[in-house]
């Protein structure tokens, strides 16, 4: 097990820079999730840590050792691929023991390591099968087994669950978390699924367009998103945004929408009078109240079983509410809502959080 | 409804049968002439099978002609060419499939250009080049020429097989602790066996039946390959069809054996189950 240190890491493909200086310190035994939309550079960063992509600039240390120019085989890490990447001409047991055989581990040791991993993952009856005779979930398990047999310094996961169906994904997610609890191994997990990020991570690294947007615990990112990107990416359904201009004076402040409506907020530092600002509130934090201050027209009702998502329009801007109140299943054409101040997020004209 | 389905099936089978008969008829004729005694060859007219069959042509070809020498030469030349080309094409095809390097585009263009010229144009310069090197009239010379001509196409063939193997597999092997070459040898190569078999078969048959260069570069019987040797059954005044066809039938045997040997790899979908699919 080891710490991983990423300093000012950049990546260019030709003239195009896809990672613009990433700094990240991962503690021994920590579970880090890199999350972001496709093309944000999260997989590239993971592959650079694995040694599968060259580092254009900056430094990567694994367990204090500078690894920029080390081949993947000398970094002592294990990786689980999205496609599983099982060796099709080898049995499950051979797939799992390949890394140990390459390291000339004694036969008895290999047998016991494979046996232990197979028992942990429930692969015992499948050891002699070829990958093509396995279901998607079983292949996924073999890929995990291949990673854990040799107790590497760190585990890297590249969207390991995205080829599984929703039910299986949920189950494997829990198993990965349990496995991390048992092994306590340093892990880096790449995903575009914010639920996976929220449920698995000790700390989430939110990335967008090759830049780290925010690093923090899942609840940090949920409660205090650093900018509009993180605010919109974390949480489902996504946060509502109302764009307007910030006005303050006499210890009071408000955000004025384009049609002149003013939404009062408490004054925030870092916001300039008369400049553009964005107000954010999560759908689950909007209050439905008969004496609410804002009128909203109902456009669509989406029941999810757990609750109901209402698509509304407030002063011409589209808006969502998530509520467990089944009374709104057949709502009137318009409703009254409130925006509780403690749940309001305000962002300045550059999209950064203002407190 | 059922009758319609049945008649469709019958029509389908008949069409296949007609195709097979059409494709294999020359081979059948080869065999038929090979077993026809000389005195019946012209006297019986066109018949599907002679009234009396004989193996005398085969006996003569094996015991009294230079055919065994031709046969041996052809096996050496075709076998060596097939092996040499497959090794070169595997390595080059892998490089073209996996690495990006400067001038890759031009290298591929150049390889394509070599395939554009009719071979006849190149006979004279190649003869000129090989003579001072002592490579005319030698099997080694033929192997070199055949290898050079077959390598580009075989490289493209192998490249397409490597392209079909997911890159994740060798990356997984490299993370598991293999060098790139070890990953190539232990993971990628075994999965490319169908491609290697196809390339071997393709090059072997191409070299086996090549006539132009063999004719131009080889004089005399000692280093002649089988297609050149066939011409020795054509004398000034007559063509000994029976012996020629018997030699032709014998020459088919190694090609058939070779394909029997590799067909298992040709039909096998080895990559199934590698990645999600």
Nearest-by-CA chain A residue for B173? A99
Structural domains in chain A, sorted by start: 4-232 (3.40.50.300), 237-354 (no CATH)
Give the chain A residue whose CA is nearest to the CA of B170: A85
CA-CA-CA-CA dihedral for A200, A205, A206, A211, to nearest 10: -160
Cα distance between residue B205 and residue B82, in whole Å: 9
Asked if A73 lies within 8 A of B272 by C-beta distance, the reply is no
Query: Chain B residues with CB inside 8 Å of A146's CB?
Result: 172, 176
On whether any CB of chain A is under 8 Å from the CB of B100, the answer is no
Phi, psi angles (nearest 5°) of residue B72: -60, -45
Interface of A with B in 300-329 (CB under 8 A): none
Closest C-alpha to A32, from A185, A220, A252, A151? A185
Label residue B212 by pLDDT band (50, 70, 90).
Answer: confident
DSSP codes joined into one string, A237-303:
SPPEEEEEEEEEETTEEEEEETTS-EEEE---TT--TTSEEEEEE-GGGPEE-TT-SEEEEEEEEEE
**Which residues 157-196 of chain B have a CB within 8 Å of chain A?**
166, 168-169, 171-179, 182, 187, 190-191
Bridge-based pairing of strands A276-281 and A345-347 is antiparallel
pLDDT category, B273, cuts 50, 70, 90? very low
A86 to chain B: which residues are within 8 Å by CB?
Answer: 172, 273-275
Angle at B153 between CA B149 and CA B159, to 5 degrees: 140
Is A73's CB within 8 Å of B174's CB? Answer: yes
Using an 8 Å CB-CB cutoff, list chain B residues near A89: 190-191, 270
Give the C-alpha separation, A300 to A311, whole Å: 5
CA-CA-CA-CA torsion sign (B65, B66, B72, B74): negative
**Per-residue pLDDT tens over the stretch B79-114:** 999 999 999 999 999 999 998 888 899 999 999 988
| Chain B nearest CA to A162, separation (Å) | 11
Is ipTM beyond 0.90? Answer: no
Interchain proximity B168–A81, CB inside 8 Å: yes
Å from B159 to nearest chain A CA? 20
pLDDT at B185 over 50: yes
Cα–Cα distance, B25 to B19 (Å, whole number): 10
Cβ neighbours of residue A132 under 8 Å, at least 6 residues apart?
A: A88, B272, B273, B274
Mutation for B interface: A82, A83, A146, most B CBs within 10 A: A83
d(CA B176, CA A247): 59
Residue B277 in this model has a pLDDT that exceeds 60: no
Of B175, B178, B275, the CB nearest to A84: B275
Whether A296 and A263 have beta carbons less than 8 Å apart is answered as: no
Contact predicate B247/B229, CB 8 Å: yes
pLDDT in tens, chain A (355 residues): 689 999 999 999 988 999 999 999 999 999 999 999 998 999 999 999 999 999 999 999 999 999 999 999 999 999 999 999 999 999 999 999 999 999 999 999 999 999 999 998 889 999 999 999 999 889 999 999 999 998 899 999 999 998 888 888 999 999 999 999 988 899 999 999 999 999 999 999 999 999 999 999 999 999 999 999 999 999 989 999 999 999 988 888 999 988 888 888 999 888 888 899 999 999 999 998 888 888 899 999 999 999 999 999 988 888 999 999 888 888 888 889 999 999 999 999 999 999 8
Quick check: B166 and A83 CB within 8 A? yes
Chain A interface, best mutation among B177, B195, B271, by max A CB count within 10 A: B177
Would you call B107 an interface residue with chain A, using a CB distance cutoff of 8 Å? no
Q: What pLDDT digit, counting tens, does each position of A120-171 carry?
A: 888 999 999 999 999 988 999 999 999 999 889 999 999 999 888 888 899 9
Residue B197 DSSP class = H
Predicted local distance difference test score (pLDDT) of residue B226: 86
Contact across the interface for B175 and A52, Cβ inside 8 Å: yes
pLDDT above 80 for B235: no
CA distance A43 to chain B (A): 13
Structure confidence by residue, pLDDT tens digits, A6-46: 999 999 998 899 999 999 999 999 999 999 999 899 999 99
Tell whether A130 is within 8 A of chain B (Cβ): yes
Torsion of Cα atoms, B78 then B82 then B85 then B88, to 10° = -140
Of A242, A241, A248, the residue nearest A270 (C-alpha): A248
Nearest CA in chain A to B193: A89
Task: Give the position of tokens 């972001």.
Answer: A36
CB spacing of A88 vs B271 below 8 angstroms: yes
Tokens of B216: 């131009």
CA distance A166 to chain B (A): 16
Residue A313, judged by CB atoms within 10 A of its CB (0-12, 13-18, 19+), counts as middle
Select the residue of B166, B177, B273 nearest A131 (Cβ to Cβ). Answer: B273
Residue pair A231/A239 in contact by the 8 Å Cβ criterion:
yes
| CB spacing of A88 vs B272 below 8 angstroms | yes
Q: Do B176 and A81 touch (CB under 8 A)?
A: no
In chain B, helix, strand, coil percent, each to 5? 75, 0, 25
Angstrom distance (rounded) from CA A241 to CA A344: 10
- What per-residue confidence (pLDDT) applies to B271? 44
Task: Produce one character per residue of B241-270: b if its CB has 16 or more CB atoms within 10 Å, e if not.
Answer: bbbbbbbbbbbeebeeebeeebeebeeeeb
Closest chain A C-alpha to B229 CA, distance in angstroms? 44
From B203, B170, B198, select the one nearest B268 (Cα to Cα). B198
Q: A237 and chain B: CB distance < 8 Å anywhere?
A: no
Q: CB-based contact (8 Å) between B232 and chain A?
A: no
Q: Do A102 and B176 touch (CB under 8 A)?
A: yes
- CA proximity to B271, closest of A90, A139, A80: A90
Q: Which of B173, B175, B181 should one mutate to test binding to chain A, selecting the residue with the greatest count of A CBs within 10 A? A: B175
CA distances from B74 to B31, B85, B123, B230 (A): 21, 16, 20, 12
Q: Measuring CA to CA, which residue among A136, A127, A176 is closest to residue A156? A: A176
Torsions phi, psi of B114, nearest 5? -60, -25
Measured between CB atoms, which of A50, A102, A136 is closest to B177? A102
Among residues B180, B9, B6, the alpha carbon closest in space to that of B94 is found at: B180
Percentage with pLDDT > 70 across chain B? 94
**Residue A87 and residue B173: Cβ atoms within 8 Å?**
yes
> For residue B154, what pLDDT is reported?
92
Q: Which residue has the tokens 């909203």?
A: A296
The answer to whether A319 and A296 are in contact (CB under 8 A) is yes
Judged by DSSP in three states, B173 sits in helix
CA B144/CA B138 separation, integer angstroms: 10
């Amino acid at each position: 097990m080891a710490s991983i240190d990423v300093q000012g890491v950049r990546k260019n493909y030709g003239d195009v820079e896809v990672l613009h200086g990433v700094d990240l310190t991962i503690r021994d035994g920590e579970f880090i999730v890199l999350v972001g939309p496709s093309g944000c550079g999260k997989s590239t960063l993971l592959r650079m840590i694995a040694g599968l992509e060259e580092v254009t600039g900056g430094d990567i240390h694994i367990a204090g050792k500078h690894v920029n120019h080390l081949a993947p085989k000398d970094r002592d890490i294990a990786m689980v691929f999205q496609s599983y990447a099982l060796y099709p001409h080898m049995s499950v047991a051979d797939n799992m023991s390949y890394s140990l055989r390459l390291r000339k581990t004694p036969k008895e040791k290999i047998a016991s390591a494979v046996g232990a991993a197979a028992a942990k993952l429930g692969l015992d009856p499948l050891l002699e099968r070829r990958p093509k005779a396995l279901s998607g979930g079983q292949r996924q398990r073999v890929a995990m087994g291949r990673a854990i047999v040799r107790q590497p310094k760190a585990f890297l996961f590249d969207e390991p669950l995205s080829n599984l169906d929703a039910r299986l994904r949920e189950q494997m997610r829990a198993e990965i978390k349990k496995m991390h609890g048992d092994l306590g191994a340093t892990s880096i997990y790449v995903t575009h699924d914010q639920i996976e990020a929220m449920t698995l991570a000790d700390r989430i690294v939110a990335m967008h367009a090759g830049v780290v947007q925010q690093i923090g615990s899942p609840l940090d990112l949920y409660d205090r998103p650093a900018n509009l990107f993180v605010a919109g990416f974390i949480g489902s359904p996504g946060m509502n945004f109302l764009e307007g201009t910030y006005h303050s004076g006499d210890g009071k402040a408000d955000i004025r929408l384009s049609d002149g409506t003013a939404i009062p907020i408490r004054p925030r530092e870092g916001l300039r009078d008369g400049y553009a600002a964005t107000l954010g509130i999560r759908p689950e934090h909007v209050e439905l109240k008969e004496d609410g201050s804002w009128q909203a027209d109902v456009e669509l009702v989406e029941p999810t079983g757990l609750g109901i998502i209402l698509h509304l329009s407030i002063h011409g801007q589209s808006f969502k509410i998530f509520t467990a109140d089944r009374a709104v299943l057949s709502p009137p054409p318009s409703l009254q809502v409130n925006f509780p101040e403690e749940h309001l997020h305000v962002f300045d004209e550059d999209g950064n959080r203002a407190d | 409804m059922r009758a319609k389905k049945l008649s469709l099936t019958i029509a389908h089978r008949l069409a296949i049968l007609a195709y097979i008969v059409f494709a294999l008829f020359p081979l059948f004729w080869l065999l038929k002439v090979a077993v026809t005694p000389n005195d019946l060859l012209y006297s019986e007219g066109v018949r599907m099978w002679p009234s009396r069959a004989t193996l005398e042509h085969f006996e003569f070809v094996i015991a009294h002609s230079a055919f065994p020498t031709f046969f041996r030469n052809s096996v050496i030349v075709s076998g060596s060419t097939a092996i040499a080309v497959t090794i070169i094409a595997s390595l080059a095809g892998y490089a073209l499939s996996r690495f990006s390097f400067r001038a890759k585009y031009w290298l591929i263009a150049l390889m394509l250009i070599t395939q554009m010229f009719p071979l006849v144009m190149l006979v004279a310069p190649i003869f000129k080049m090989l003579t001072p090197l002592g490579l005319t009239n030698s099997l080694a010379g033929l192997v070199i020429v055949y290898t050079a001509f077959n390598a580009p196409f075989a490289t493209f063939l192998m490249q397409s097989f490597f392209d079909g193997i997911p890159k994740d597999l060798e990356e997984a092997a490299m993370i598991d602790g293999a060098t790139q070459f070890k990953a190539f040898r232990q993971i990628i190569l075994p999965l490319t066996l169908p491609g290697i078999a196809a390339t071997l078969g393709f090059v072997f048959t191409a070299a086996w039946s090549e006539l132009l260069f063999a004719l131009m570069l080889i004089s005399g019987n000692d280093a002649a390959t089988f297609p050149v040797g066939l011409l020795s059954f054509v004398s000034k005044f007559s063509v000994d069809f029976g012996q020629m066809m018997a030699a032709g039938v014998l020459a088919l045997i190694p090609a058939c054996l070779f394909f029997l040997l590799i067909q298992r790899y040709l039909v096998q979908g080895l990559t199934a189950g590698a990645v999600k699919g």
